[in-house]
Structure 1
């Protein structure tokens, strides 16, 4: 292999590929990235048996070829080189020579033939989504996926497309986040798949403010296609919880409140908390106002807010971090919160804007 390419573009391609690498792996080959030069392109690929991220950049390809090289090492070298053109060359022993102006490096590579890949996907269905919309949908839901759950499906999000209406759904046993959007370029058949939350986090870091993203499926994989980058990931097998049945049909108390003022009040009341396990806030709902209080060994805090109120007065407690996760991702100036009593879930919705539902379970307090 012998190529010439731009330093910034190569650095970004390596950064993208590194997102697919499991840093805990002891397999040297999987700590590397595959670099392939062909047909005027340099293709950089990272892989961890469940996820593949591939970015291609323009390059002057003098000799085609491929090699696997340690991702951390080449990433650090390329990142610190000047913003100009870089020459990459390999020899028969898989040594990689990196030349840029007055800098010269030689690092040991591995044969590309040994690098595993997910392989080609025969896409059955493909849908196009605006990148900004996709990024917002992920941001408003992915935090509610579970970490190391007993039920593996809760580590992912439900991607559900029905009649050109897309839903992303995440729940972890304590809260539920549902974000919906109308898709203009849909497909003729319904789609239901569970995408790993970690895959969506990686995808979100690659999305931009321009253009669309193509999403395709086969029976076991999902593929995201951006302009120069392709992500392939294994889907999570199993049946996702029937989330519709978790949403309350009625409520006892309902308030309308300014989103940012509520967020700021809860953030101030949470300043006393020094442990993620001890972060209980109590919300006392009265006619036209709510009081937010926190109390622990560090002291106590009290916040008061005007609200529009209907129904019964109520005292209820929540995990403050879980509560903030829902409201800080809402862009609407006002939100409504529906309460079914002190032991039943509360439902948070924006007054205007895209269709979004955030359900959170209360915490019992003495």
Structure 2
């Protein structure tokens, strides 16, 4: 095998395929990047068997071939080379030579035939979504994925197509995030994708209207982004009936500026960081909310103007859960819907209905 490639292009391809390599594997070959030089391009693949990412970059291929190289050392070498063309060729004794200007590295490679093949995806059921919309939907839900391994299904995000809408849903038992966008597809799809997979997908998606083609099988999902393909296994099991968790009515409606509320809670939470609950109290009155936090460190009081419809209410939250929601809402005017100090709070945008966030309160000791 012999080829040359621009350092920047090669580095970008390595960075993308590397996102699937975790290093937590009993198969040493999966700690490597699979490289195939063919015609006028390189195909680079990274995989941990659950998630596989394949991407291609332009190259001047002099002699075709395939190898697997240790991803960690290879990416470090390429990253530190001068910004010039990189020449790579295989030598005897399973060695590749990497040359860039006056730098020469000799690196051991592994046999490509030992690399496991990617799952075969027959592209029969598929939908297309603008990349920027999908990226925003993932960002707006992935923070609520459960970290607890006792309920594996909650470590994933529900990817649901229903009534011509795409819904992404994540929950961890304390909060829930629901994002919806009109898709216009007549398909009915209900799969659960590992949260870590979608986080890696979001890093690769562009902030552009280019379409990503998403294909489903019984066990896998494929994201096709022109030069990059991402294949992930799906989680087994049935996701929680999230619709039944959303309150159908409320007694208290608060209109508040998201940015101002976020700043107040961030300051108030400074006093709650020595406790596991990150407890803050919100006292909603007719035209303001008073936010307080007491701890061994001291106490804090914040006051913010609001528009309240309904009764006055005192309620407490884990500040981290509220802040996670506020940081992932794009719009500044929001509604908070509540019924009592022990029932869920729904946070949503004032101007559109494409997101719903549920946060459970912390029960106050009387």
Q: TM-score, normalised by structure 2?
A: 0.96
Q: CA separation in 1, counterparts of 2:25 and 2:149?
A: 21
Query: 2:195 corresponds to which residue?
Result: 197
Partner Cα distance (1:357, 1:324) in 2: 15
- 2:279 maps to which residue? 280
Find the counterpart in structure 1 of residue 5 from structure 2: 5
Q: Does 1:153 align with 2:181?
A: no
| Whole-angstrom distance in 2 between the partners of 1:271 and 1:117 | 50
Distance 1:12 1:311, change over 3 A: same
Residue pairs, 1:113-192, within 5 angstroms:
113-184=113-184, 186=185, 188-192=186-190
Tell me, in whole angstroms, the C-alpha distance in 2 between the residues paired with 1:330 and 1:74. 39
Give the drift of 1:44.
0.8
- Matched position secondary structure for 1:153: helix
Deviation at 1:365, TM superposition (A): 2.0
Match of 1:227 in 2: 226
Provide Cα deviations, 1:191-241, integer angstroms capped at 9, x if missing partner.
Answer: 111010000000111111221211111111001111321100000011010
* Counterpart mapping for 1:189-338 below 5 A: 189-210=187-208, 211-275=210-274, 277-338=276-337
What CA deviation, in whole Å up to 9, does each residue of 1:10-50 have, x standing for no partner?
A: 11111111111112335321111111111211011100010
SS, match of residue 105 in structure 1: strand
What SS does structure 1 have at the residue aligned with 2:109? strand
Distance 1:159 1:291 in 2: 38
Alpha-carbon distance between aligned partners in 2 of 1:189 and 1:247, rounded to the nearest angstrom:
24
C-alpha distance in 2, partners of 1:125/1:94? 42
Q: Tell me if the contact between 2:125 and 2:215 (Cα under 8 Å) persists in the aligned partners.
A: yes
Residue by residue over 1:257-310, the C-alpha shift from the partner in whole angstroms, topping out at 9 and shown as x without a partner, is 011000110011112233472411000111111111111111111111111111
Match of 2:363 in 1: 364
Distance 1:232 1:354 in 2: 31
- Partners in 1 of 2:93 and 2:216 — Cα distance? 39
Question: SS at the partner of 1:8?
Answer: helix
CA distance in structure 2 between the aligned counterparts of 1:183 and 1:189, rounded to whole angstroms: 10
Aligned equivalents of 1:50 and 1:317: distance in 2?
A: 39
1:341 alignment partner in structure 2: 340
Aligned partners of 2:226 and 2:124: how far apart in 1?
21
* Number of residue pairs the alignment of both structures matches: 364
- Helix, strand or coil at the partner of 2:235: coil
Question: What residue ranges of structure 2 are gaps of 5+ in the alignment?
Answer: none
RMSD, matched Cα: 1.3
Match of 2:79 in 1: 79
Deviation at 1:332, TM superposition (A): 1.5
> Could you tell me how far apart the structure 1 residues matched to 2:239 and 2:248 are?
21
Say which SS state the counterpart of residue 110 (structure 1) adopts: coil
After superposition, the Cα gap between the structure-2 partners of 1:180 and 1:276, relative to the gap in structure 1 and judged at 3 Å, is farther
Preserved contact between residue 47 and residue 117 of structure 1 (Cα < 8 Å):
no
How far residue 352 of structure 1 moved from its aligned partner, in angstroms, is: 1.3
Q: In 1, Cα distance between the equivalents of 2:223 and 2:353? A: 23
TM-score, L = length of structure 1: 0.96
